[in-house]
A and B are shown apart, each in its own frame.
Chain A
Amino acid sequence: MKSGEDHQTVSLLTQNIFRLLLDAISRPGRIYEINPAAVGEWDCPVPGVFGNGDSFLLPVLMTLLDKEVSFYVTGNKGTVQEMAEITGAHASVVRDADFVLVPHEAKSKVILEAKRGALQYPDEGATIIFCVERVCEGIENRPCIRLKGPSIADMQRLSITGIDPETFAHLMLINGAFPLGVDSFFVDMEGRVAAIPRSTTIEEVKEWAT
């Protein structure tokens, strides 16, 4: 059992991360950075969830997952048990999962099967968390996606590396019938986070560097 003070520290850290996720989903495609010092204070049982380089993923998972929700991890089966233990969430098949995790470089085709919610309850659509190498602001004429829609003033460019290049085509398909769809977060190796909610239209995928 954690002491009261530790418990309170965790409480403040997850609050911090949540606000960042809230900013990210309120402003799709914009980059927000997790403070590394915040993660340093984390009493982290494993250094990375899927291996080295994703030490920022765990704080995100701790912020969102608990015993009330289910998750699915694409590919990497070895980590399922560990994740269930750390977060308290239970593993499920992809069709039923509240959260779908796509590790670094993993194929993302499986997200096509993720829950998109019902018309009466579209909020039941899954949240997808992608671990990627790097997210950064897109620059014109470089490989990037253009995002449009509510929450975006005009247009937002976003560049992501270390992700299955098919991902965006999948997301366009999944989110083609608003309000049904999935909401995605992209967490990179240095703690940068960006989001693409289902309300966002991915307008253009410029030849993606793999």
Chain B
Amino acid sequence: MTLKEILRKTFDNGYNFAFLDEGAKREIRRKILKAVAIPGYQTPFGSRELPIARGWGTGGLQITLSIIGTGDTLKVIDQGCDGSVNAVNIKKFIGRVTGVKTTTDTNKASIIQTRHRVPEEIMTEDQILILQVPYPEALRTVEPEETETRRMHAEADYSRMWLYLYEDIVRFGEISIGARYPVAVNGRYIMDPSPIPRWDIPKLDRADTLYLFGAGREKRIYAVPPHTEVKPLEFEDYLFRVEDFGDARCRRCGSCDTFLDEIIDDETGKRFYQCSDTDYCDRRTVDGTGS
């Protein structure tokens, strides 16, 4: 398709390229630049309503729509899966209002929008990962009021967060936080990495890729720029640990170094495992690198 054709096609739908009006995009873009300049800081933005419901990825979607261009190739995943209903829905919508190429191949995508996972494949500096965020405030667990959490961030007063972790250890003998594990960015801001599993946290640290986080309902954008330190909160004697799958392997590709979904077989009731990143698993299966 030529540029003119793409333009005509999207404009004929009655909507602007990438759906959002230019004013909205400019505002979101300005806020993205600020978010990148202040790693881990939650930048407020005038979140727009979209034809997709609040809480269903509208923050991530507004970032994607504001940065995407005709030269991009888009991938959208939910729970690591390209075929998940919500991912398909979002991808279809972006495709319709931009005409961009879409893919399921992590390596071929220039923009990946995701919910709850970071792809297994190590991403490059030519790619951007956009994470959908339900709760942008990592401190919300210990303080419900925004005015107060803002003060805590302003003064880097994180004592209550540390106390929370300490009490958790006293009660459970381990830090019991599963997903949404709080991290410190660049030694300054405590940040909610979105509900990704702990497995994905190390991938944020000093990566080649730019990570952008969008919370549509809570109207916040934040970022982890490339080569920026991201450290999970931990104590010397109680270290952060990723999920432990024991000696489980993916039933399809045989992988034992990926995040696995635990599945209960309908008929036998037996438990088995499968890669959560379906694209990674598919390619390993086709390559024959699986067992």
Q: Do chains A and B touch in the complex (CB under 8 A)?
A: yes
Chain B CB count within 10 A is highest, among A12, A63, A127, for A12
Contact of B11 among A5, A119, A198 (CB under 8 A): A5
Q: How far is the CA of A21 from the CA of B29 in the complex (A)?
A: 10
Contact of A11 among B8, B22, B43 (CB under 8 A): B22
Q: Min CB distance, B167 to chain A, in Å?
A: 27
Assess whether A64 is interfacial by the CB under 8 Å rule. Answer: yes
Contact of A119 among B17, B66, B69, B154 (CB under 8 A): B154
Assess whether A81 is interfacial by the CB under 8 Å rule. Answer: no
Assess the A12–B70 pair: CB atoms within 8 A. yes
Nearest-neighbor residue (CB-CB) of A27 within chain B: B226
Contact of B36 among A26, A118, A121 (CB under 8 A): A26
Chain A 2-23 interface mask (CB, 8 Å, partner B; 1/0): 0011011111101110110110
Q: How far is the CA of A201 from the CA of B69 in the complex (A)?
A: 32
Chain B CB count within 10 A is highest, among A9, A10, A16, A150, for A150
Chain B 275-286 interface mask (CB, 8 Å, partner A; 1/0): 000000000000
Assess the B33–A127 pair: CB atoms within 8 A. yes
A138: chain B residues within 8 A (beta carbon):
none
Assess the B27–A25 pair: CB atoms within 8 A. no
Assess the B33–A199 pair: CB atoms within 8 A. no
Q: Min CB distance, A35 to chain B, in Å?
A: 11
Nearest-neighbor residue (CB-CB) of B37 within chain A: A197
B41: chain A residues within 8 A (beta carbon):
122-123, 179
A binding-site residues for B, Cβ under 8 Å: 4-5, 7-12, 14-16, 18-19, 21-22, 25-27, 63-66, 68-69, 118-123, 125, 127, 150-153, 178-179, 183, 197-199
Given known contacts A15-B69, A179-B41, what 12 new A-B pairs fall within 8 Å (CB)?
Answer: A4-B11, A8-B7, A8-B10, A11-B22, A12-B70, A25-B37, A63-B26, A68-B27, A150-B185, A151-B36, A153-B226, A197-B38
Q: 3 tightest CB-CB pairs across the interface, nearest first?
A: A197-B37, A119-B154, A150-B228
